Amino acid sequence: MCERIGLSIIATDAADAVNRIVEAERAGLRQVWLSQGGSGGTDTLTIAAVAAARTTQIRLGTAIVPTYPRHPLVIAQQALVIHDIAPGRLRLGIGPSHR
């Protein structure tokens, strides 16, 4: 897998996002990045969890999970689940959103 090349996923919905991540891994990409608006408005951590279960090597990055509308504990719990499914493959980017 190429270490330096990743892909920002732009998809129409959740299923499309996950399918694109699976295809990116098959194509040999090392990492993908998800943004809140880039997956048809779906939740990036939920997409990452499903993709983690359907892939084996690709790194899953979030750019950026907004902290304003959700409790920090919920973000931590979601990240822990993804880590349990795919140890070491989540790159968690968080930020204050627009508030």
> pLDDT tier at 2 (50, 70, 90 boundaries)?
low
Say how many domains are in the chain. 1
C-alpha to C-alpha distance for 29 and 31, rounded to whole angstroms: 6
Please write the tens of the pLDDT for every residue from 29-81: 999 999 887 777 788 999 999 999 999 999 999 988 988 888 999 999 999 99
The residues pairing with 90 across neighbouring beta strands, listed in sequence order, are 60
Handedness of CA 72, 73, 74, 75 (dihedral sign): positive
Q: In terms of residue numbers, what domain contains 42?
A: 2-95
What is the separation of C-alpha 24 from the centre of its chain, rounded to a whole number of angstroms? 13
Please give the model's pTM, rounded to 2 decimal places: 0.89
